[in-house]
């Protein structure tokens, strides 16, 4: 497909603006343009076709099943977009005075109350803008808590599972803690013997996803919590997988002291490319004084922002956080009402249905009932036919499905991590099962076709690392300074390749 600059023809316009009659802006001489910007020149039909063609190449949860494990791609109800676009929400300015923002403050306060209840904890801050930022905020709270107790120098270590999402160790390092890993036992739980040997007076806390990234609920969570609390340490719950347990079991009751909630996963948001999202944190009462400011509080019948929190870690995001995300999540939760557990029950049922119908054709490293997701392995196909998890993922695209997460968690070789969510119908799940089974059969009959897949997508197998690490998102005008190293490195070919990517 040609780039829009390549379609550009001098003098063509998609629309023309009336000439303005405002006085010229006072722009300092050295900041003024000396030449007109080089924008693509194109007619409106060609412009519309160009971007429609690009959109058609995309695959999203609105175009098909998207079972990306741990990334929870569920349907985003359109009514939530209507609600968030009501003028009272949409046009609200963050500097608007509190008296004129009572409705918005009330929604935030109500959402905080609901999240505290879902987590079984006492206080919530909505500020962090993603799960990963919630992680960092939670660990900063941990640090502030130990500093307040005069234990900052001793409590240096945070323990994570060997199945942890990559953001967990990264957040531990960013928050200034030392990282220690604990192993997984034969049933997919934390290895208690390994844990006991590692927890001591230097331990600040544990960071754990439960259910884990294997889609398994830790069978010893009460003992795990006891080990940490007996050692004076805290427990952090990575709530990325909260979709499995809402209204059924609560992190606070399991013993966790700090939780982040990926609003954009569990409570539905359009998301992609790491956002836009929301990563509120919920905490036990002992940690409430350290939460970010301002806190949204209720005073009788009114709501206000409380900045007077002397022990607070400060702000972690502009204003109060991503407000539109709060409105959508609040609407999603209220649509379920007191039956929120139905959401999690359906997510778990859908995952177990897929698991039951796929485990005879793919390896299953931990043969247990799963929660909202499960991890298969393509090791059997690799051993017998040379077909890897990557090959299965690429071939699934020809069947019209987005691939599941692959090669994660790291402890499962040839991992295929599948999360259907609660919003998919049985027919969709059945079609996915048929595709996965057809690929397993094809691995034996015609592995070459799988190896060269996808056959029906606009591009085939790309150098994904290069596309991510050396993304060229500007048009390659010959003299473009940003593109010079790329060109030099690949003898000029890189730009063509990057365009395709």
Ligand X SMILES: Cc1ncc(COP(=O)(O)O)c(C=O)c1O
Residue numbers 166-185 binding ligand X by CB under 6 A = 167
Q: Is 277 in the site for ligand X (CB under 6 A)?
A: yes
- Give the interface segment with ligand X, choosing from 59-67, 139-147, 190-198, 272-280 (CB under 6 A): 272-280
82 contacts: CB under 8 Å, gap ≥ 6: none
Q: What is the DSSP letter of 480?
A: -
Per-residue string for binding with ligand X, 281-320, x by CB under 6 A? Answer: ----------------------------------------
Q: What is the DSSP string of 292-336?
A: -SSEEEEETTEEEEE---TT----SSSTTS-HHHHHHHHHHHHHH
In three-state secondary structure terms, 393 is: helix
Whole-number Å distance between alpha carbons of 398 and 55:
18
Residue numbers 395-434 binding ligand X by CB under 6 A = none
Residue numbers 68-107 binding ligand X by CB under 6 A = 70-71
Q: Which residues pair with 297 in a beta bridge?
A: 304
Q: 240 or 254: whose CB is closer to ligand X?
A: 240
Per-residue string for binding with ligand X, 35-74, x by CB under 6 A? Answer: -----------------------------------xx---
Backbone φ and ψ for 104, nearest 5 degrees, come out as: -65, -45
Indicate which single residue of 262, 269, 329, 344 sits in contact with ligand X (rule: CB under 6 A). 262
Taking a C-beta distance cutoff of 8 angstroms, is the pair 199, 358 a contact?
A: no
Place of tokens 């040997």: 197
Backbone φ and ψ for 88, nearest 5 degrees, come out as: -60, -30
- Give the interface segment with ligand X, choosing from 79-87, 99-107, 127-135, 345-353 (CB under 6 A): 127-135
Indicate which single residue of 132, 137, 210, 269 sits in contact with ligand X (rule: CB under 6 A). 132
- Give the interface segment with ligand X, choosing from 83-91, 130-138, 216-224, 480-488 (CB under 6 A): 130-138
Q: Is 263 in the site for ligand X (CB under 6 A)?
A: no
Taking a C-beta distance cutoff of 8 angstroms, is the pair 454, 460 a contact?
A: yes
Task: Give buried/exposed letters for 471-483 (b at 16+ CB in 10 A, else e).
Answer: ebeebbeeeeeeb
Residue numbers 137-166 binding ligand X by CB under 6 A = 165
Residue 244, number of CB atoms within 10 A of its CB: 25
Q: 118 or 498: whose CB is closer to ligand X?
A: 118
* Residue whose Cβ sits closest to ligand X: 131
Q: 188 or 454: whose CB is closer to ligand X?
A: 188
90 contacts: CB under 8 Å, gap ≥ 6: 84
Q: How far is the CB of 164 from ligand X (least distance, A)?
A: 7
- Give the interface segment with ligand X, choosing from 55-63, 274-282, 376-384, 445-453 (CB under 6 A): 274-282
User: Residue 448 region, left (φ>0) first, then alpha (ψ -120 to 50), else beta?
Assistant: alpha
Taking a C-beta distance cutoff of 8 angstroms, is the pair 362, 381 a contact?
A: yes
Whole-number Å distance between alpha carbons of 276 and 79:
18
Whole-number Å distance between alpha carbons of 89 and 104:
7
Q: How far is the CB of 276 from ligand X (least distance, A)?
A: 10
Q: Which residues pair with 156 in a beta bridge?
A: none
Strands 203-208 and 234-239: parallel
Number of residues lying near ligand X (CB under 6 A): 15
Q: 71 or 119: whose CB is closer to ligand X?
A: 71
Whole-number Å distance between alpha carbons of 422 and 372:
9
Residue numbers 192-251 binding ligand X by CB under 6 A = 209, 213, 238, 240
- Give the interface segment with ligand X, choosing from 37-45, 126-134, 324-332, 452-460 (CB under 6 A): 126-134
Q: How far is the CB of 160 from ligand X (least distance, A)?
A: 11
Q: 238 or 442: whose CB is closer to ligand X?
A: 238
Q: How far is the CB of 277 from ligand X (least distance, A)?
A: 5
Place of tokens 């790329």: 486
**What are the angstrom distances between the C-alpha of 273 and each of 9, 219, 262, 470?**
32, 33, 14, 16
Q: 257 or 288: whose CB is closer to ligand X?
A: 257
Q: How far is the CB of 22 from ligand X (least distance, A)?
A: 43
- Give the interface segment with ligand X, choosing from 29-37, 119-127, 271-279, 352-360 (CB under 6 A): 271-279
Q: How far is the CB of 324 from ligand X (least distance, A)?
A: 16
Q: How far is the CB of 93 from ligand X (least distance, A)?
A: 26
Indicate which single residue of 131, 188, 292, 322 sits in contact with ligand X (rule: CB under 6 A). 131
Backbone φ and ψ for 21, nearest 5 degrees, come out as: -120, 25
Q: How far is the CB of 266 from ligand X (least distance, A)?
A: 11
Whole-number Å distance between alpha carbons of 364 and 356:
10
- Give the interface segment with ligand X, choosing from 10-18, 129-137, 184-192, 249-257 (CB under 6 A): 129-137
Q: 244 or 354: whose CB is closer to ligand X?
A: 244
Q: How far is the CB of 394 from ligand X (least distance, A)?
A: 21
Structure tokens at 349: 């049922």
Structure tokens at 24: 């010229």
Indicate which single residue of 130, 204, 234, 316 sits in contact with ligand X (rule: CB under 6 A). 130
User: Which secondary structure element, helix H or strand E, spans residue 84, and what is its range?
Assistant: helix 78-84
Q: Give the footprint of ligand X on this chain (CB under 6 A).
A: 70-71, 130-132, 165, 167, 209, 213, 238, 240, 262, 274, 277, 279
């Amino acid at each position: 497909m040609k780039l829009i600059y390549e379609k550009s023809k001098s003098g063509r316009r998609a629309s023309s603006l009336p000439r303005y009659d405002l006085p010229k802006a006072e722009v300092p001489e050295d900041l003024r343009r000396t030449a007109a910007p080089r924008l693509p020149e194109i007619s409106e039909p060609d412009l519309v076709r160009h971007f429609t063609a690009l959109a058609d190449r995309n695959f999203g949860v609105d175009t098909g099943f998207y079972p990306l494990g741990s990334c929870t791609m569920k349907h985003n109800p359109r009514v939530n977009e209507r609600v968030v676009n009501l003028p009272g929400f949409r046009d609200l300015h963050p500097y608007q005075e509190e008296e004129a923002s009572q409705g918005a403050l009330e929604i935030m306060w109500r959402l905080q109350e609901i999240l505290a209840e879902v987590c079984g904890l006492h206080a919530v801050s909505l500020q962090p803008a993603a799960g990963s930022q919630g992680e960092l905020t939670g660990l900063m709270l941990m640090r502030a808590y130990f500093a307040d107790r005069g234990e900052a120098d001793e409590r240096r270590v945070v323990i994570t599972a060997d199945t942890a999402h990559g953001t967990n160790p990264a957040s531990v390092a960013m928050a200034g803690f030392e990282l220690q890993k604990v192993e997984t036992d034969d049933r997919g739980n934390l290895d208690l013997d390994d844990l006991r040997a590692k927890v001591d007076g230097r331990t600040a806390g544990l960071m754990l996803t439960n259910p884990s990234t294997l889609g398994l609920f830790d069978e010893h969570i009460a003992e795990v919590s006891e080990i940490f609390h007996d050692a004076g340490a805290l427990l952090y719950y990575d709530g990325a997988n909260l979709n499995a347990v809402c209204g059924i079991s609560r992190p606070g009751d399991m013993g966790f002291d700090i939780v982040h909630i990926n609003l954009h996963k569990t409570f539905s948001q359009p998301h992609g490319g790491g956002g836009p999202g929301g990563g509120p944190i919920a905490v036990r009462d002992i940690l409430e004084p350290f939460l970010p400011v301002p806190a949204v509080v209720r005073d009788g019948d009114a709501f206000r922002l409380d900045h007077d929190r002397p022990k607070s870690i400060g702000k972690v995001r502009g204003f109060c956080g991503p407000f539109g995300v709060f409105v959508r999540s609040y609407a999603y939760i209220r649509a379920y009402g007191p039956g929120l557990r139905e959401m999690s029950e359906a997510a778990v049922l859908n995952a177990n249905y897929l698991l039951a119908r796929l485990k005879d054709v793919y390896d299953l490293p931990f043969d247990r009932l799963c929660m909202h997701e499960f991890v298969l392995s393509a090791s059997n196909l690799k051993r017998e036919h040379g077909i890897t998890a990557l090959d299965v993922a690429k071939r699934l695209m020809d069947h019209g499905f987005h691939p599941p997460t692959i090669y994660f968690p790291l402890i499962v070789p040839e991992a295929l991590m599948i999360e259907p969510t609660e919003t998919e119908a049985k027919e969709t799940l059945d079609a996915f099962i048929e595709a996965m089974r057809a690929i397993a059969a094809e691995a034996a009959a015609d592995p070459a076709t799988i190896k060269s897949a996808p056959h029906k997508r606009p591009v085939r197998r790309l150098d994904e690392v290069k596309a991510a690490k050396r993304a060229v998102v500007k048009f390659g005008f010959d003299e473009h300074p940003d593109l010079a190293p790329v060109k030099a490195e690949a003898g000029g070919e890189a730009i063509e390749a990057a365009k395709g990517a």
